[in-house]
Amino acid sequence: MATEQPEQRTWRRPTAFYNHYVKWAVYVVITVFLLWSAWNMRISPARIMDGWNAAVGLVEGMVPPEYTTQFKNELLIEGLVESLAMSVIATIVGVIISIPVAFMAAENIAPKPVYWTGRGIITVSRSFHELIIAIIAVKAVGIGALAGVIALSYKTVGFFAKLLAEEIEDIDSGQMEATEATGANRVQTMLFGVIPQVMPRIIGLTIYRWDINIRHSTIVGIVGAGGIGATLLNSFDQYDYDFFLTIIIAIIAIVMVGELISTYIRGRIQ
């Protein structure tokens, strides 16, 4: 095409990488890595066939979900109520701890060493999955809801403080300066110049985190940290798949109700 007329200009799309060789190298590396990952899964036709049969068996075992025995119903309700209670307490405790951490981690009001401490707390809290924290908490305080509350509160700090700190960093510094200019001290400045600006956000985030904590409170029981999760794992271990499905449906229902409430309240605030 272009080769017949040597004076003809060509055009290549500029790449986001340094040059086209780097671009292709990156593509090749990604492809090879994905293939390696897939190879590590040890997928074989036999395994897929077995899987299909097992899936059919599982569905047959699950349907219809069980809801007849009095004993199991009580177990279910008890677990769900405990999960809900854990989510409420963990949210309250977590938020109370988070607020000072958020102020520490806001670059525009905290001095540098405090800022880095705050950021550090957030990073460490965010790094580990709630189940890891829960399993450690179980070893520290024993099996039960207390471990779950500790794990969920711990996770709440990372989430809540991070988002609230970002909100504080975005505030209108004019309002803060105006308060300072009246001769207010540091705490008064926070109360009048900062808190009013971030209050709606604090309420919104609290509700949002409560919603997330409901989800998490239903599974931390898998490692013994209270709530419906323990019942879930038991039914699974005893091949009681129809009760397993009942629990999952109950969890989904409660999670959805929580989400609806949370969405509604947050909609009202804004």
- Angle at CA of residue 65, ends 60 and 69, nearest 5°: 125
Torsion 153-154-155-157 (CA) sign: positive
267-to-91, 162, 264 alpha-carbon distances in Å: 20, 22, 5
Separation between Cα atoms, residue 269 and residue 247, nearest integer Å:
33
Of the pair 109, 121, the CB lying nearest another protein is at 121
Least separation in angstroms between CB 51 and another protein: 5
Least separation in angstroms between CB 100 and another protein: 19
Separation between Cα atoms, residue 179 and residue 96, nearest integer Å:
25
Least separation in angstroms between CB 187 and another protein: 19
- Residue 216, exposed/middle/buried by CB under 10 A (0-12, 13-18, 19+)? buried
Residue type, 246: T
Of the pair 136, 195, the CB lying nearest another protein is at 136
Of the pair 3, 111, the CB lying nearest another protein is at 3
Least separation in angstroms between CB 251 and another protein: 8
Separation between Cα atoms, residue 93 and residue 193, nearest integer Å:
25
Interacting residues with another protein (CB under 8 A): 1-3, 5, 8-11, 13-14, 16, 33-34, 36-38, 40-43, 47, 50-51, 54-55, 58, 81-82, 84-86, 88-89, 92, 123-124, 126-129, 131-132, 135-136, 139-142, 144-146, 149-150, 215-216, 218-219, 222-223, 226, 232-233, 236, 248, 251-252, 255-256
Of the pair 109, 228, the CB lying nearest another protein is at 228
Contact between 80 and 202 (Cβ < 8 Å) = no
Of the pair 80, 109, the CB lying nearest another protein is at 80
Least separation in angstroms between CB 124 and another protein: 8
